[in-house]
Amino acid sequence: MAKDYKALADGVIANVGGVENVESLAHCVTRLRFKLKDDAKANMEALGKVPGVIKVLTASGQLQVVIGQDVGEAYDAILANYNVAAGGEVDADPADTKKDGKKVDIAGSLADIVSGIFLPFMSAFMGAGLLKGILVLLTTFNLLPKDSTTYSILYAVADGTFYFLPMFLAYSAGKKFGGNPFVTMAIAAAMLYPNFAALSSAENVNFLGIPVTMISYSSTVLPIIVAAWLQSVLEKFLNARLPKVIRSIFVPLIVMVVVFVLVVLVVGPVTDIAGKAIANAIKAALDFAPAIGGFLMAALWPVMIIFGVHWGMVPIVMNNHAVLGYDYILPLTVGTNFGIAAAVFAISLKSKKAETKELAGTAAVSAFVGGVTEPAIYGILMKCKKVFAVVLLANGIGGAICGIMHVTRDVMITVNGLTLPAIAAVYGPWGIVAIVISIIAGFAAGYLVFNDKMMEE
C-alpha cells in the first residue's frame, strides 16, 4: 500500500507549529531537519505519533524528525504543499556556548559541522571505496592482473576520489563555514598541484626566506578543513572593510594567497604532526587493550549513532588512512549493521501486528541493503531494550575478536549485505566471523526476546 506523503507532510507541519514557525527545512539520509522560529510551539508528543514518523528529537539547534528511507519523499511533499525555505542552514560556532541568547550544545555543534562537511560527498566516496574492494577481490583470486591496463583504468576511478580528497572537502567545508567554496577549492588545487608537490624532493624549500616543511597533501583531511575555516574568517573580515566595488576582485586574491601561505608555513606541518599523534595514540591504546577497546567500540557504536557523535570518528578514520595507509577503528564495528538488521528482521517475522511488521521489515532492509540503521534503532530497538542490549553485547564480542586479531582495512567501503564479497577480501576471515556472531545473536534476540507489548510500552 502506497504511503500518503501529503498526509505525512500535513501532520508534520501542523505539529512543528505551522508553516509560519518554520525558518528553514533540510534533510539528511533519514531525517527532516527543521530550524524553527520558536521551539516551544512544536508539539513533540503529537509529532512523534504522526503516521510515518519514527522518532522526534532536538540536536544541533534543530528539530529532527526521523522518517527513515522515505525521507526524500516526505521532504518533497512538504516543499510541494508548503512555502518553506528549502535547504536553509545556519552554521553554529563550536567555540561558543550561547547563540542568540540560547545555550548551544557544543558536542552537537561539532557533530553537525563534521556531518555537514563529510556527508555531502559520501556517495562518491563510498562508491569509490566499494570499487577498491572489488578490485582487491578480483586480484586476490587472480581474475584481474595488477599489471593490466584494465586494472589501471579501473583503479584510477577507485583511487582518484581518495587522492583528491582535499578537493571534495574543500567544497563542503567552504560551504559549511560560510566561505566561498570555489575559493576553498582553489586553495586545495594549489595544495595538490604537481609542481608544488614536487618540492617535497627539493632541498632548502623556503618562502621569502622562511623555511618550509613540505608534506604530502594528497588524501589529507585536517589541512584543508583548517584552511576553510581560516578562509571564512578572513573573507568576513575583508568583506566588512573593503569597498563593495573592489571586493569581487581583491577578496579572492588576498584570501587565496594568505591562506595558502599559512597552510604551507603553519597549518600543513602542524596538522601533520597532530594527525600522526592522534593516529599513533589511538593505535597504541588499542594495541595495549585490543579486546576491551574492540568490545567498547563495537558495542557502543549504535549508541553513538543515537546521539549523532559517531560523526566525530570520521575525521579520525580518514586521518588513519592518510597517515598509516589503513584504519583499525571502523573494522571493529563491522558486524553492527548486520546484527541490527537481523534483530529487526526477526521482530518483523515474530510480531503479530501489521504496523510493526511493516516498520521492522522496512528497517531491516534499510540496515542490511543500505547500511542505514537509524530507522531500526529509533523505530524498533530503542523501544525493545532487552533485544537492543543483546545486540550491543553480540556486537561487542565481534568487536573484541576484531581487536584481538588486529582486523584493519586499507580501503573505505560501505558495510552492508551487497558488499559482503568485498568485505571478505578487505577485512579478512575474522571480519566475517564478527558479522556471523552479530547476525546469529541479533536474530535470536529478536525472535526469542521480543513481544508486541514492548512496542506498546
Q: What is the pLDDT of residue 26?
A: 86
Phi, psi for 393 (deg, rounded to 5): -65, -45
Q: Quick count: other Cβ atoms within 10 Å of Cβ 401?
A: 22
Contacts of 101 (CB under 8 A, 6+ apart): none
Rounded to whole angstroms, the Cα distance separating 137 from 422 reads: 6
Give the residue among 329, 351, 343, 344 at the shortest CA–CA distance from 402.
329
Q: What is the pLDDT of residue 95?
A: 37
CA atoms within 13 A of residue 199's CA, in its CB half-sphere:
18
Contacts of 358 (CB under 8 A, 6+ apart): 348
Contacts of 4 (CB under 8 A, 6+ apart): none
Cell of 270: 602542524
pLDDT by position in tens, the chain (length 457): 456 788 889 999 999 998 898 888 888 777 888 888 888 888 888 888 888 888 888 876 788 888 877 788 888 889 988 888 776 443 333 333 444 444 445 555 666 677 678 777 777 877 787 787 788 778 878 889 989 999 999 999 988 888 898 999 999 999 889 899 999 999 999 999 999 999 988 888 999 999 999 988 988 888 999 999 999 999 999 998 898 888 888 999 999 999 999 999 999 999 888 888 877 888 888 888 999 999 999 999 988 877 666 776 777 888 888 888 888 899 999 999 999 999 999 999 999 988 889 888 888 988 888 787 878 887 888 888 899 999 999 999 999 999 999 999 888 777 888 888 888 888 999 999 999 999 999 999 999 999 888 876 6
pTM above 0.75, yes or no: no
Q: What is the pLDDT of residue 56?
A: 87
Top CATH class, 5-87: alpha beta
The amino acid occupying position 408 is T
Assign 220 to helix, strand or coil: coil
Q: What is the pLDDT of residue 201?
A: 84
Asked if 52 and 3 count as a contact pair (C-beta separation under 8 A), the reply is yes
- Which residues in the chain are classed under CATH 3.30.1360.60? 5-87
Give the residue among 84, 77, 73 at the shortest CA–CA distance from 17.
84
Rounded to whole angstroms, the Cα distance separating 366 from 373 reads: 7
* Cα→Cα distances 357→125, 350, 375, Å: 33, 8, 13
Contacts of 197 (CB under 8 A, 6+ apart): 216, 217, 218
